[in-house]
Structures are given as structure tokens and as C-alpha cells.
Amino acid sequence: MKNPKTKSLVILLTTVLFLISMGFTVFQDSWTVPAKYKKMENPVSWDKEGELIAKQLYAKHCKSCHGKTGLGDGPKAKELDTSSGDFSVTEFHAQSDGALFYKTTFGRDDMPAYDKKISSDEDRWLLVHYMRTFKK
């Protein structure tokens, strides 16, 4: 490319495409939760019986991607196009219970919706409690 205008145009287009792809990646990683769910509080109490139920549900439905200790390192995690997330990090715990309930219920991308597989709202709320037990 001897023409400086052509070279500048190629650099400009490359930069624009890079910035667009970065913006798309950031957009893909964000998970918009409706305000209604963000404000929800967990209506289910947390006790030994609930913990046992949640632990069994987690082992059956969640552990394969999210891992035994919620680090996002389950055996299926490597097969996913999106991150399975780490339940032990501060950013995870900063989310409201309602946001976690929404994500568990409706899913997106590689995360399946569990409104049919775990049809009980109470059981999904118990899972929210259980996810909160994973801390570093």
C-alpha cells in the first residue's frame, strides 16, 4: 500500500471493526435483569432441610458447568461458548437474590432456563441461597 490515503483508510476500518467487536463482546457479557426481579427478596427461609434440597438440586442440574464449589470449573464448562461464572467472587455476591432467581429461571445463551426442569419457585429460591454459600 503505497498510497497513504489507502493505508489510513485500512487502519481506520480495522480500528472501527475492532472497537465494534469489543463493544459487542461487552454487550454479550452483560445480562440485563428486569427491575421487577432486581428488587425481589428471597421469600424462602434457609434451614438444614432447604440446604439438603438445594445441594441435591445443585448436584443434579448445576455442578456439571458451575463445578463442585461454584468456581465455574465443572466438566462441561470448557464446552460452553460463554463463561459459566464464578459464584465465589464479590461481583457475583453483589447481585440481588431476585437477579439470581431471574437468571436461574429464564437462562440465556449456554445457561438453560430452569423454570421447567425445576418447576418449583421455592426450589429455585433455595438454589439462590445455596449459590451464596460459595465464597473464597
pLDDT digits (tens, 9 = 90+) for 58-101: 999 999 999 999 999 999 999 999 999 999 999 999 999 999 99
pLDDT at 19 over 70: no
Q: What pLDDT shows up at residue 18?
A: 55
Which residues, 6+ apart, have CB-to-CB distance to 39 below 8 Å? Answer: 96, 98
Q: What pLDDT shows up at residue 62?
A: 97
**Which value, in Å, is the radius of gyration of the alpha carbons in the chain?**
20
pLDDT at 16 over 90: no
CA–CA distance, 78 with 84 (Å, rounded to integer): 9
Which region, left, alpha or beta, applies to residue 10 given φ > 0 means left and ψ of -120 to 50 means alpha? alpha
Share above pLDDT 70 across residues of the chain, in percent, rounded to a whole number: 79
DSSP secondary structure string for all residues of 9-51: HHHHHHHHHHHHHHHHHHHHH-----HHHHT----S---HHHH
> pLDDT digit string (tens) for 35-68?
999 999 999 999 999 999 999 999 999 999 999 9
CA 15 → CA 11, 20, 29, 54, distances in Å? Answer: 6, 9, 21, 48
Tell me which residue of 88, 108, 87, 91 sits closest to 33, measured CA to CA.
108
